[in-house]
Chains A and B, each alone.
Chain A
């Protein structure tokens, strides 16, 4: 699983990468996940349906991330624009 964050002037940045079944890597992923959420980011997991339609799912805790998810994308929270 990869934790990615989109950043101004950079595109995506890999925050952490690892296998959730390996305890040390799970801890590293969990800590990185919490750090981003505490920084005010939204986390999303890209998914695809059986019909091939691409979707995304917003997750609010690391437990909500499907174990087979390949990546979690963090992006800034939405705010009303002008």
Chain B
């Protein structure tokens, strides 16, 4: 007595076939991944080596060559140079407030810039203290003499001051312009403009007695 053909069937043929194919695919993938794993690891290691060969590594500075006072001395020299280039009032402004102001000349309407070290140049309207925008500009020294392309703070301010004084249009065209508040918060900019106004009032008041004194001396 033979087994009836229907007894061999676990389920309907349409349901069994996809299950069997999926299982076979999974087994095949597992086998392939086991076989390919060592080769994949080898390829990854070689790729990492190639990348590290092409990316220049940070210059290793031996501990005994490292000079912690170098940046400070560089900044002192930069301050001396800046002081010799700008006038007394501008120098006092930078020393006391940490930024320089330069008047803009490209428009009939009055506007000005605030120059911060290693921050965007801020354009604003002096009459309203309305901040117009930020001009991001850098002076990278590609020779990187000490592993850095960044100028000392006061040299960065001097470079911006020179470029704005000598060729404002060219500098502004080279800079990337952003809306106000991108790097320098609008609140900080407004606060600095208020500080600048107070500073100017104090300086004007400090100059006045000298003027009166001189005037008095002249009239006597």
Given the complex of chains A and B, what is the CA–CA distance between A4 and B137 in angstroms? 22
| Contact present for A75 and B85 (CB under 8 Å) | no
- Of the candidates A11, A80, A82, the one whose C-beta lies within 8 Å of that of B73 is A11
**Is A23 an interface position by the 8 A CB rule?**
no
> Which residues on B sit within 8 Å (CB–CB) of A8?
74, 141, 144-146, 148-152
**Is A37 an interface position by the 8 A CB rule?**
no
| Contact present for A78 and B175 (CB under 8 Å) | yes
Given the complex of chains A and B, what is the CA–CA distance between A7 and B174 in angstroms? 21
Q: Could you list which residues of chain B lie within 8 angstroms of chain A, going by C-beta atoms? A: 70-71, 73-78, 80-81, 84-87, 90, 120, 136-152, 155, 158-159, 161-163, 165-167, 171, 174-176
| Contact present for B87 and A58 (CB under 8 Å) | no
Interface of chain A, main secondary structure? strand
Given the complex of chains A and B, what is the CA–CA distance between A39 and B44 in angstroms? 40
Given the complex of chains A and B, what is the CA–CA distance between A73 and B151 in angstroms? 14
What's the nearest-Cβ distance from chain B to residue A9, in Å?
A: 3
Known: A10-B74, A44-B162, A78-B163. A54 touches B86 (CB 8 A): yes
> Which residues on A sit within 8 Å (CB–CB) of B75?
11
Given the complex of chains A and B, what is the CA–CA distance between A37 and B165 in angstroms? 20
**Is A31 an interface position by the 8 A CB rule?**
no
What's the nearest-Cβ distance from chain B to residue A75, in Å?
A: 5
> Which residues on B sit within 8 Å (CB–CB) of A7?
74, 141, 143, 145, 151
| Contact present for A78 and B139 (CB under 8 Å) | yes
**Is A42 an interface position by the 8 A CB rule?**
yes
> Which residues on B sit within 8 Å (CB–CB) of A53?
87
